[in-house]
Chains A and B, each alone.
Chain A
Amino acid sequence: MVAACTPRTHEPLFRDTLREAGINQYFFDMANIREHCSWVHSKQKEEATEKAKDIVRMSVARTINLEPLKEFELPVNKAALVVGGGVAGMNAALGLAGQGFEVHLVEKAKDLGGMARRIQTTLEGLDVQDYLQDLIRRVYQHPLVHVYHEATITDVSGYVGSFVTTVQAEGQVTIIQHGAAILATGADEHRPTEYLYGVDERVWTQLELEERISRKDEGLARARSLVMIQCVGCRQEGRDYCARVCCSQAVKNALSLKALNPELDIYVLYRDMRTYGFKEDYYLKAADQGVRFVRFTPSAKPEVEAARDEEEKPVLRVTVPDPILGQRLAIDAHFLVLSAAAAPAAGSPDVARLFKVPVNPDGFFQEAHVKLRPVDFAADGVFMCGSSHYPKHLSEAVSQAYGAAGRAATLLSQDTVTASGSVCTVAESTCISCGACVAACSYGAIHWRKTPGGDKAEVNPVLCKGDGLCCAKCPTSAIVLRHYTNEEVLNQIDAALFEAPSGAGEQAHAKQEVGS
Chain B
Amino acid sequence: MCTGRVDLAFVLRAFQKGATGVIIAGCWLGECHYVTEGNYDALNMMHLCKKLLEHAGVRPERLRLEWVGASEGIRFAEVMNDFANTLRELGPLGAAEGATPDHLASRLAALARLVPYIKLAKREKLALRLKSPEEYLQLYATDEVAALIRDVVSYYVEPELCQACMICLRRCPADAIAGGKNLIHVVDQDKCIKCGTCFDVCPPRFGAVRKISGAPVPPPLPEEARVVVRKGKGARRE
By a beta-carbon cutoff of 8 Å, the part of chain A in contact with chain B is 40, 356-358, 360-361, 378-379, 429-432, 434, 436, 439-440, 442-443, 453, 465-469, 471-478, 481, 484, 486, 489-490, 493-494, 496-499, 508-516
Q: Is the CB of B33 within 8 A of A358?
A: yes
By a beta-carbon cutoff of 8 Å, the part of chain B in contact with chain A is 1-10, 13-14, 17-27, 33-39, 41-42, 45, 70-71, 77, 80, 83-84, 87-88, 115-117, 119-120, 123, 126-127, 170-171, 173-174, 193, 195, 197
Q: Is the CB of B123 within 8 A of A484?
A: no
Q: Is the CB of A509 within 8 A of B5?
A: no
Contacts of B4 in A (CB 8 A): 440, 467-469, 472, 515
Q: Which 3 A-B pairs have the closest CB atoms?
A: A515-B3, A468-B5, A497-B17
* A477 vs chain B, min Cβ distance (A): 8
Q: Is the CB of A434 within 8 A of B120?
A: yes
* A94 vs chain B, min Cβ distance (A): 30
Contacts of A378 in B (CB 8 A): 33
Q: Is the CB of A469 within 8 A of B2?
A: yes
Q: Is the CB of B23 within 8 A of A509?
A: no
Contacts of B70 in A (CB 8 A): 516
Q: What are 22 residue pairs bridging A and B, where the CB atoms are less than 8 Å apart in the complex?
A: A432-B173, A439-B127, A453-B170, A469-B2, A469-B36, A469-B41, A472-B4, A475-B193, A484-B1, A493-B17, A494-B13, A508-B88, A510-B21, A510-B83, A511-B19, A511-B23, A513-B23, A513-B24, A513-B25, A515-B2, A516-B2, A516-B70
Contacts of B22 in A (CB 8 A): 510-511, 513
Q: Kindly report which residue of chain B lies nearest to residue A465, judged by CB atoms.
A: B34
Q: Is the CB of B1 within 8 A of A468?
A: yes
Q: Is the CB of A467 within 8 A of B5?
A: yes
Contacts of A508 in B (CB 8 A): 20-21, 84, 87-88
Number of A-B contacts (CB under 8 A): 161
Listed residue (B26, B71, B123) with the most chain A CB atoms within 10 angstroms of its CB: B123
- A478 to B50 CA separation, bound complex (whole angstroms): 25
Q: Kindly report which residue of chain B lies nearest to residue A422, judged by CB atoms.
A: B1
- A513 to B36 CA separation, bound complex (whole angstroms): 18
Q: Kindly report which residue of chain A lies nearest to residue B34, judged by CB atoms.
A: A356
Which of B2, B27, B38, B119 makes the CB contact (< 8 A) with A474? B119
Taking A472-B8, A474-B119 as contacts, is the C-beta distance between A466 and B1 under 8 angstroms? yes
Q: Is the CB of A430 within 8 A of B174?
A: yes
- A465 to B4 CA separation, bound complex (whole angstroms): 13
Q: Is the CB of A473 within 8 A of B34?
A: no
Q: Is the CB of B37 within 8 A of A490?
A: no
Contacts of A496 in B (CB 8 A): 14
* A430 vs chain B, min Cβ distance (A): 4
Q: Is the CB of A472 within 8 A of B6?
A: yes
- A487 to B18 CA separation, bound complex (whole angstroms): 19
- A378 to B71 CA separation, bound complex (whole angstroms): 14
Q: Is the CB of B5 within 8 A of A515?
A: yes
Taking A466-B1, A497-B17 as contacts, is the C-beta distance between A489 and B25 under 8 angstroms? no
* A343 vs chain B, min Cβ distance (A): 20
Q: Is the CB of A432 within 8 A of B6?
A: no
Given A356-B33, A358-B33, A467-B5, 10 new contacts (CB under 8 A): A436-B120, A465-B36, A468-B4, A471-B5, A472-B45, A486-B7, A494-B13, A494-B17, A515-B3, A516-B1
Listed residue (A360, A443, A473) with the most chain B CB atoms within 10 angstroms of its CB: A473
Q: Is the CB of B24 within 8 A of A510?
A: no
Taking A432-B197, A440-B41, A468-B4 as contacts, is the C-beta distance between A512 and B23 under 8 angstroms? yes
